[in-house]
C-alpha cells in the first residue's frame, strides 16, 4: 500500500521505516529532515496515486491545523487523512468537517510505542467512520505488534480520547514507580535498590515496560545524577483530569500525578535559599531562577 507521511521525527521516522519493512511504499515529507522523499506537500500529492492516504505526525495545535488546511486544497474526494499526533480529541470533529467539505475522509489515531515502536510495534487506537478506517487498515495492521494491539475505538475523536486516557494512566504509573524508588532509597533495610527493582521485572504484578525503563536508567546511572527533577507534561494528562471533572469520575491517582509534575517545576529549597541570598546581595532587587532543563518523563 502507498502512504505519504508528514513529519519524520522520532515517531514519524520510525513509523515510516516500519511500513517500509512491511512492504508498503512510503513518501515522507518534513521541512528539515534529510530523509524526506519529497520537498513539499504539493509534490507529495502529485506523486501519490488515488485514492491517496496521507498520515500526519506533527505537533498538536496550529502545525497540525495548518497542514490539514493545506491538504484540504491539495487532495481529492475519496482520499483519507490520518491524524496520528497527540491532538486534543475535541479538535477532531472540526478537522473531520474541514476535510469532509472536500470529500476527504478523516481518521484520528492515537499511537503509543515511543522510539522502540519500529522494532516492537505500536499500540494503535483509531477513530473514524468505518469506510475511512477500512481504507487505512493495512497500514494500521503493519504498525501494530499483533492484531490485539490495534483497535477501532469508535467514531471521530475516539482514537485520540483513548490515547489521552492511556497517557493519564501512564502518569499515575510513573508516579507510583518514582515514589516506590524514593521510599526504598530512604529506608535502612534495602542496601541495593536497583537489584530489588530489577527483580520485580520477573513474575510480579507490577512488571511493565515502564519498570523496564526505570531499571535501565538505574543501570546506566545508579544515582540518577544526570536527570533533572523537573518533569514536563504534553497536555494529555491535563485533558484526562479535565474529562474526569466533566464526567464526575473520581481519578485521584492520575490527578495527583499531574500535580506532582507541576510541583517538580517549582524551585527547590536550595534554589530558594540561593535566590534569597542573591536578593540580599543585590539590595533586594528581583532575581529570578533560570528554568530547569526538561526531565525524561
pLDDT band for position 271 (cuts 50, 70, 90): low
| 163 neighbors 127 (Cβ within 8 angstroms) | no
Cα separation of 110 and 126, whole Å? 6
Average pLDDT over every residue of 158-181: 96
Q: Which residue has the higher pLDDT, 228 or 271?
A: 228
In the numeric block, the cell 491532538 is attached to: 87
Q: Residue 286's pLDDT is what?
A: 42
Average pLDDT over every residue of 95-102: 98
Residue 293 has pLDDT above 60, yes or no: no
98: enclosing H helix or E strand: helix 92-100
Residue 53 has pLDDT above 90, yes or no: yes
Q: Residue 288's pLDDT is what?
A: 42
Q: Residue 116's pLDDT is what?
A: 87
Average pLDDT over every residue of 25-54: 96
Q: Residue 289's pLDDT is what?
A: 40
In the numeric block, the cell 474526569 is attached to: 244
pLDDT digits (tens, 9 = 90+) for 204-227: 999 999 999 999 999 999 888 888
User: Mean pLDDT over all residues of the chain?
Assistant: 90
Average pLDDT over every residue of 159-172: 96
Q: Residue 275's pLDDT is what?
A: 53
Residues tagged active-site: 163, 170
Percent of the chain with pLDDT over 90: 79
Cα separation of 86 and 84, whole Å? 7
The set of cell numbers assigned to 117 is 515502536
pLDDT digits (tens, 9 = 90+) for 227-257: 888 888 878 999 999 999 999 999 999 999 9
Residue 269 has pLDDT above 80, yes or no: no
68 closest CA partner among 43, 105, 39: 105
Residue 172 has pLDDT above 60, yes or no: yes
Percent of the chain with pLDDT over 70: 90
Amino acid at each position: 500500500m502507498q502512504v505519504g507521511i508528514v513529519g519524520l521525527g522520532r515517531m514519524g521516522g520510525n513509523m515510516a521505516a516500519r511500513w517500509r519493512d512491511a512492504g508498503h511504499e512510503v513518501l515522507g515529507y518534513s521541512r528539515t529532515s534529510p530523509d524526506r522523499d519529497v520537498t513539499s506537500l504539493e509534490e507529495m500529492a502529485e506523486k501519490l496515486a488515488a485514492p491517496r492516504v496521507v498520515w500526519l505526525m506533527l505537533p498538536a495545535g496550529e502545525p497540525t491545523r495548518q497542514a490539514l488546511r493545506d491538504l484540504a486544497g491539495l487532495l481529492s474526494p475519496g482520499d483519507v487523512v490520518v491524524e496520528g499526533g497527540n491532538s486534543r480529541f475535541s479538535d477532531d470533529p472540526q478537522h473531520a468537517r474541514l476535510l469532509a467539505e472536500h470529500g476527504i475522509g478523516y481518521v484520528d489515531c492515537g499511537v503509543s510505542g515511543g522510539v522502540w515502536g519500529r522494532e516492537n510495534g505500536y499500540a494503535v487506537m483509531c477513530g473514524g467512520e468505518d469506510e475511512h478506517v477500512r481504507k487505512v487498515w493495512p497500514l494500521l495492521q503493519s504498525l501494530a505488534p499483533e492484531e490485539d494491539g490495534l483497535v477501532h475505538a469508535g467514531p471521530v475523536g475516539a482514537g485520540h480520547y483513548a490515547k489521552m486516557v492511556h497517557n493519564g494512566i501512564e502518569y499515575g504509573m510513573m508516579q507510583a514507580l518514582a515514589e516506590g524508588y524514593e521510599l526504598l532509597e530512604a529506608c535502612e533495610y534495602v542496601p541495593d535498590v536497583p537489584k530489588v527493582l530489577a527483580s520485580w521485572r520477573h513474575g510480579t504484578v507490577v512488571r511493565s515496560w515502564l519498570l523496564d525503563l526505570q531499571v535501565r536508567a538505574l543501570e546506566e546511572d545508579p544515582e540518577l545524577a544526570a536527570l533533572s527533577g523537573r518533569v514536563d507534561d504534553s497536555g494529555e494528562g491535563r485533558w484526562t483530569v479535565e474529562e474526569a471533572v466533566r464526567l464526575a469520575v473520581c481519578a485521584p491517582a492520575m490527578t495527583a500525578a499531574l500535580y506532582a509534575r507541576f510541583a517538580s517545576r517549582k524551585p527547590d529549597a536550595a534554589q530558594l535559599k540561593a535566590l534569597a541570598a542573591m536578593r540580599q546581595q543585590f539590595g533586594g532587587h528581583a532575581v529570578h531562577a533560570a528554568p530547569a532543563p526538561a526531565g525524561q518523563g
